[in-house]
Amino acid sequence: MLTSQIVVYSQHGEPADVLSTHSYEIDDSHIGDNEIIVKTLAAPVNPSDINQIQGVYPSKPEKTTNFGTVEASAPCGNEGLFEIIKVGSKVTDFSIGDWAIPAQVNFGTWRTHALANDSEFLKIPNPSQSKANGKSTGLTINQGATISVNPPTALLMLTHYVKLIPGKDWFIQNGGNSAVGKYAIQISKLLGFNSLSVIRDRPNLQELKDELTSLGATKVITEEENGSKEFGPTIKGWTKETGGEIKLALNCVGGKNSTGVARKLANNGLMLTYGGMSFQPVILPTSLHIFKNITSAGFWVTQLLKQNPELKVETLNQIVEWYEDEKLIDAPSLQTKFDPNGDKPLHELYQEAVINSKQGKQLITF
List interacting residues with ligand NAP (CB under 6 A): 47-48, 149-150, 153, 175, 177-180, 200, 252-253, 257, 274-275, 277-278, 299-301
CB of residue 106 to ligand NAP, shortest distance in Å: 14
Angle at 62 between CA 59 and CA 68, to 5 degrees: 150
Contacts of residue 132, Cβ cutoff 8 Å, sequence gap at least 6: none
Q: Which is nearer to ligand NAP, 12 or 200 (CB)?
A: 200
CB of residue 210 to ligand NAP, shortest distance in Å: 15
Q: Which is nearer to ligand NAP, 39 or 306 (CB)?
A: 306
Q: Which is nearer to ligand NAP, 138 or 152 (CB)?
A: 152
Q: How far is CA 92 from CA 144, 347, 357, in A?
A: 22, 34, 38
Hey, which residues are catalytic here? 57
Q: Which is nearer to ligand NAP, 14 or 339 (CB)?
A: 14
CB of residue 201 to ligand NAP, shortest distance in Å: 9
Residue nearest ligand NAP (C-beta atom) = 275
CB of residue 349 to ligand NAP, shortest distance in Å: 19
DSSP string of 282-295, one letter each residue: B---HHHHHHH--E
Query: Is there a contact between 44 and 145 (Cβ–Cβ < 8 Å)?
Result: yes
CB of residue 150 to ligand NAP, shortest distance in Å: 5
The pairing of strands 170-173 and 219-222 is unpaired
Cα 178 from Cα 198, distance rounded (Å): 10
Cα 263 from Cα 228, distance rounded (Å): 11
49: enclosing H helix or E strand: helix 47-54
Q: How many helices (H) and strands (E) does the chain have?
A: 14, 16
